[in-house]
A and B are shown apart, each in its own frame.
Chain A
């Protein structure tokens, strides 16, 4: 028998004083919404499968929480994974995973929604289901079990967790969550079998029900095709987008303890037109839609009143590209100057204008100034389509040091396609130039932090055909950096190559990977995103048990015509366009920002109806009659190289 909230409470009383940060497990914060369980028809648990401290900063769930709780016939409550110490206590006391608001066991909710913004949460999702006492496999669930749905960035390749989730929501969740709830209510009233619910969900645009498809493989292990098993299922499943961004949420729950981002997140725009070829977010979140300055100011004002939080984060994939960025920053400065409010403006372009922007947000000078050149040579920057001259970087660095920042953070990525050790050495040289600029400008106060991540060829990007570097190759490159950047004023951080491998397997995996995820969890893997909990052996053993070769997923270049495990999920960007981008990359040609001219990625024809229904709205796609190609910075502007890959 499942415990009721009162029983859970009384058991918790003795446990909470003994665990780290018990406030993670009690809820009750300002602005949490508690509705009457007994009179509300549909109960939704929103789960971020990591600890409270991480999950509370997630904007996606905050949006859904507000939207669902605004419905009179539904409620949403929060659930996070317990940390290791609390998990042991819960298991020992036989307390099931419960919601923070009313302490109801997760298994008593109607719908359980997981957000999966990164792949290293997969084993935590399994752990959460297990702690909740819900069958891990979709096929084992009965009519009385909750419906398990999932969404977030990783859902664009849902296959590695296809067995565990009843339905995935692909793309933006604001509208589709309402349709899922409506459909669920219709099914529940009809008392039909669970299969009927899954079939009805599949007819919602943007919903992917994995059990309604069958995958066929070639002899060599690559995907041959995917077949529908149900008429209702769509093929491909096209991501959902909002034609116009609604006002952002503002009544954020105010955590009583410190969380990873102690700030109010205000999304100023969605999508990015830069077209960096390695960037998953930039490819899958098109088109660019902006909020108006007045909508943003209004939201900031409300959120400050509701929360009292000291920092605002203006979120987007590329702040500098927000059309009215100067106007917005000016307005915020005028309004909140002297109010002890910090404003963070992430993802700025490398140019002195960015320094002007940050300079006018006077209070935000604590911490360093972050720039992401990603690569150090012109050739590499052309390959990844992030053109930038070294002079421009150095000039920007000079400006930053000159205007009072003592620390610059530079982000690079190693393992780009075609990268050689010389390209990696160039990172060392460039960092030294930047630091020299700092020393010249402000003397020995100048510091440099370097973060070097490792490239993973992500699905739905132009590099999805490319192979990853091997662990040995990554290590060789990292050694070069570690040796070259040994300096008292430089702090270097890098990613464990084994973590990179895991992320690559999980992001590029097919359905067979689900057995690996399951086995890894059995082997003890959880909190894979936590350095001290990371258990690589659990994963390599899981591959052995599943009789799969990990290098099949990571170290194999793909043929142009290979069917990818994620091909039935459509982001609206055409595969053909992605392949053209790959070819341009191989010819070292860049593409201009597509705000200026359409490069025919496929978004406009795919979502033509949205744009027609919302004329003059804030899409940043230029008006087009017929799609044209435009290639900049190249000598052979219209020639697409025809050589294949792999």
Chain B
């Protein structure tokens, strides 16, 4: 019997700089090392049956990445977790593992929004003003890859948070992450007049639709 598992994992350290497609391959290789019976598609170029929720931009860290994987046989989650944990590459860590209904909708279609915390490497004394300007704007028209869009519509929540342990200014934002309506933290930072390389962005949570 086939089983579908959902893995919640963190992405940090050396993996922070690894893009979506490469991450996909890292997971395939992790499964191959673990000798778990990962399902492959039929045909000329068999592909592993793995599904990542939504791409995390290169350079960001995360504690809430999601992966669905299909195995050819039913196994206990403990067994699966042990097998994967011993073969994970540095920078990936499994936080949770659960059984998912085989017929549940695809992971990508379930994601509604993403929560990011943004820590600034330098002190930004007028951070509050900059953020206020964003929140109180009715529209934030921007161009991304030559396509006009309204960033304001994608910002669901944004607030300052107390400085982190290192005393760095920080904020938390919740951005839409639906297909065709994805808010990007670096776009928000640009709108605030801040350079994204002077900050560290961490994805804290993905909000999924309940069905």
Contact = CB atoms under 8 A, between A and B. Distances in A.
Interface stretch (B23-31, B149-157, B170-178): B23-31
B169 to A, nearest CB: 16
B9 interface: no
Contacts of B45: 366
Contacts of B59: 16-17, 22
B40 A340 contact: yes
A227 to B, nearest CB: 51
B13 A28 contact: yes
B175 to A, nearest CB: 18
A520 to B, nearest CB: 33
Query: Which of B18, B40, B121, B198 has most A Cβ within 10 Å?
Result: B18
Nearest to A18: B197
Interface string A29-46: 110000000000000000
Interface stretch (B74-82, B86-94, B103-111, B139-147): B86-94
Interface string A226-255: 000000000000000000000000000010
Question: What class of interface size applies to chain A in its complex with B?
Answer: 20 to 34
B32 A310 contact: yes
Given A29-B14, A258-B22, A17 B29 contact: no
Contacts of B32: 304, 308-310
Interface string B59-91: 100000000000000000000000000010111
Interface string B183-202: 00000000000001110100
Interface string A12-31: 01111110011100111110
A551 B18 CA distance: 47
A393 B13 CA distance: 52
A322 B138 CA distance: 72
Interface string A286-311: 00000000000000000011111110
A392 interface: no
A30 B89 contact: yes
A14 B29 contact: no
Contacts of A18: 197
A22 B26 contact: no
Contacts of B44: 365-366
A310 B14 CA distance: 22
B15 interface: yes
A257 B197 contact: no
Query: Which of A306, A310, A340 has most B Cβ within 10 Å?
Result: A340
B33 interface: yes
A256 B22 contact: yes
Interface in B7-51: 13-15, 17-19, 22, 25-26, 28-33, 40, 44-46, 48
A24 B26 CA distance: 15
Nearest to B27: A308
B95 interface: no
Contact of B14 (A14, A15, A26, A366): A26
B58 interface: yes
A14 B198 CA distance: 6
A18 B18 CA distance: 14
Contacts of A340: 40, 46, 48
A409 B87 CA distance: 38
B18 A254 contact: no
Contacts of B46: 340
A638 to B, nearest CB: 54
Contacts of B29: 254, 307-310
Given A14-B197, A22-B59, A307 B33 contact: yes
Query: Which of A18, A256, A307, A366 has most B Cβ within 10 Å?
Result: A256
B196 to A, nearest CB: 6
B58 A308 contact: no
A23 B18 contact: yes
Nearest to A34: B90
Contacts of B58: 17, 22-23
Nearest to A339: B32
6 contacts: A26-B17, A28-B14, A28-B15, A310-B32, A366-B44, A366-B45
For the complex of A and B, list the 7 residue pairs with the smallest distance between their C-beta atoms, beginning with the closest. Answer: A28-B14, A308-B29, A308-B32, A308-B33, A17-B59, A30-B89, A23-B17
Interface of B: 13-15, 17-19, 22, 25-26, 28-33, 40, 44-46, 48, 58-59, 87, 89-91, 121, 196-198, 200
Given A17-B196, A308-B28, A340-B48, 5 more contacts: A18-B197, A22-B59, A28-B13, A307-B29, A309-B29
